[in-house]
Protein backbone atom coordinates (compact mmCIF):
# COMPACT_ATOMS: atom_id res chain seq x y z
CA UNK A 1 0.00 0.00 0.00
CA UNK A 2 1.33 3.38 -0.93
CA UNK A 3 0.74 6.51 1.16
CA UNK A 4 0.66 10.00 -0.26
CA UNK A 5 -0.93 13.36 0.27
CA UNK A 6 -2.62 14.79 3.31
CA UNK A 7 -3.73 11.45 4.76
CA UNK A 8 -0.15 10.22 4.89
CA UNK A 9 1.06 13.47 6.49
CA UNK A 10 -1.71 13.37 9.09
CA UNK A 11 -1.04 9.71 9.87
CA UNK A 12 2.69 10.34 10.21
CA UNK A 13 2.10 13.37 12.45
CA UNK A 14 -0.24 11.36 14.69
CA UNK A 15 2.23 8.50 14.87
CA UNK A 16 5.09 10.82 15.85
CA UNK A 17 2.92 12.50 18.49
CA UNK A 18 1.90 9.15 19.94
CA UNK A 19 5.49 7.92 20.02
CA UNK A 20 6.65 11.14 21.70
CA UNK A 21 3.90 11.02 24.31
CA UNK A 22 4.69 7.41 25.13
CA UNK A 23 8.42 8.09 25.38
CA UNK A 24 7.91 11.09 27.69
CA UNK A 25 5.34 9.41 29.91
CA UNK A 26 6.02 5.67 29.96
CA UNK A 27 3.51 3.46 31.67
CA UNK A 28 4.73 2.47 35.12
CA UNK A 29 3.50 -0.81 36.47
CA UNK A 30 3.58 -0.81 40.22
CA UNK A 31 3.60 -4.26 41.79
CA UNK A 32 1.02 -5.15 44.39
CA UNK A 33 2.05 -4.93 48.03
CA UNK A 34 1.33 -7.88 50.30
CA UNK A 35 2.34 -9.20 53.72
CA UNK A 36 6.10 -9.48 53.92
CA UNK A 37 6.72 -6.42 51.70
CA UNK A 38 8.75 -3.54 53.10
CA UNK A 39 10.02 -0.13 52.09
CA UNK A 40 8.85 3.40 51.31
CA UNK A 41 5.75 2.27 49.37
CA UNK A 42 4.52 0.38 52.44
CA UNK A 43 5.25 3.40 54.66
CA UNK A 44 3.19 5.58 52.27
CA UNK A 45 0.35 3.03 52.36
CA UNK A 46 0.39 2.96 56.17
CA UNK A 47 0.40 6.77 56.42
CA UNK A 48 -2.56 7.03 54.04
CA UNK A 49 -4.48 4.36 55.97
CA UNK A 50 -3.72 6.31 59.16
CA UNK A 51 -5.30 9.42 57.58
CA UNK A 52 -8.51 7.38 57.38
CA UNK A 53 -8.08 6.12 60.97
CA UNK A 54 -7.61 2.55 59.72
CA UNK A 55 -3.98 2.10 60.78
CA UNK A 56 -3.49 3.10 64.44
CA UNK A 57 0.32 2.71 64.49
CA UNK A 58 3.31 4.75 63.36
CA UNK A 59 4.29 3.81 59.80
CA UNK A 60 7.07 1.23 59.93
CA UNK A 61 7.49 0.35 56.28
CA UNK A 62 6.82 -3.32 57.07
CA UNK A 63 3.64 -4.93 55.72
CA UNK A 64 2.53 -7.12 58.60
CA UNK A 65 -0.74 -8.38 60.02
CA UNK A 66 -1.93 -4.93 61.13
CA UNK A 67 -1.34 -3.44 57.69
CA UNK A 68 -3.13 -6.34 56.00
CA UNK A 69 -6.06 -5.92 58.41
CA UNK A 70 -6.24 -2.18 57.64
CA UNK A 71 -6.08 -2.85 53.88
CA UNK A 72 -8.91 -5.42 54.15
CA UNK A 73 -11.03 -2.93 56.11
CA UNK A 74 -10.35 -0.24 53.52
CA UNK A 75 -11.19 -2.61 50.67
CA UNK A 76 -14.47 -3.58 52.32
CA UNK A 77 -15.45 0.05 52.99
CA UNK A 78 -14.51 1.08 49.44
CA UNK A 79 -16.48 -1.76 47.85
CA UNK A 80 -13.37 -3.46 46.48
CA UNK A 81 -12.40 -7.12 46.47
CA UNK A 82 -11.27 -7.92 50.02
CA UNK A 83 -7.87 -9.58 49.64
CA UNK A 84 -5.49 -7.88 52.07
CA UNK A 85 -3.17 -7.30 49.10
CA UNK A 86 -2.74 -3.71 47.95
CA UNK A 87 -3.06 -3.65 44.14
CA UNK A 88 -3.66 -0.93 41.54
CA UNK A 89 -7.44 -0.63 42.06
CA UNK A 90 -6.88 -0.27 45.80
CA UNK A 91 -4.12 2.30 45.18
CA UNK A 92 -6.40 4.42 42.99
CA UNK A 93 -9.23 4.29 45.51
CA UNK A 94 -6.97 5.12 48.46
CA UNK A 95 -5.23 7.99 46.70
CA UNK A 96 -8.58 9.53 45.75
CA UNK A 97 -9.61 9.53 49.43
CA UNK A 98 -6.32 10.76 50.95
CA UNK A 99 -3.59 13.31 50.37
CA UNK A 100 0.12 12.80 49.96
CA UNK A 101 1.51 12.10 53.45
CA UNK A 102 3.72 14.76 54.98
CA UNK A 103 7.26 13.98 56.11
CA UNK A 104 6.05 13.96 59.73
CA UNK A 105 3.27 11.51 58.89
CA UNK A 106 5.76 9.22 57.21
CA UNK A 107 8.52 9.36 59.80
CA UNK A 108 7.12 10.75 63.07
CA UNK A 109 10.35 12.44 64.15
CA UNK A 110 11.11 12.17 67.84
CA UNK A 111 8.62 9.41 68.53
CA UNK A 112 9.53 5.94 69.68
CA UNK A 113 9.09 3.52 66.74
CA UNK A 114 6.06 1.26 66.91
CA UNK A 115 7.15 -2.36 67.48
CA UNK A 116 3.83 -4.01 66.58
CA UNK A 117 5.37 -5.80 63.58
CA UNK A 118 3.34 -3.85 61.05
pLDDT digits (tens, 9 = 90+) for 45-103: 999 999 999 999 899 999 999 999 999 999 999 999 999 999 999 999 999 999 999 99
pLDDT of 22 strictly over 60: no
- Residue 116, number of CB atoms within 10 A of its CB: 14
Q: How confident is the model at residue 112 (pLDDT cuts 50, 70, 90)?
A: very low
pLDDT of 109 strictly over 70: no
Strand partners, 86: 33
Looking at residue 7, what is its pLDDT? 58
> Which sign, positive or negative, has the C-alpha torsion 15, 21, 24, 27?
negative
Q: Report how far residue 81's alpha carbon sits from residue 112's, in angstroms, rounded to the nearest whole number.
A: 34
Write the DSSP symbol of residue 35: T
Write the DSSP symbol of residue 79: T
Amino acid sequence: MRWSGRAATAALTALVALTSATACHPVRITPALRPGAHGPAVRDLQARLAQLALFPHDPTGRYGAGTARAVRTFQEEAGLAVTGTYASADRSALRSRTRKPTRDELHHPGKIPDRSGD
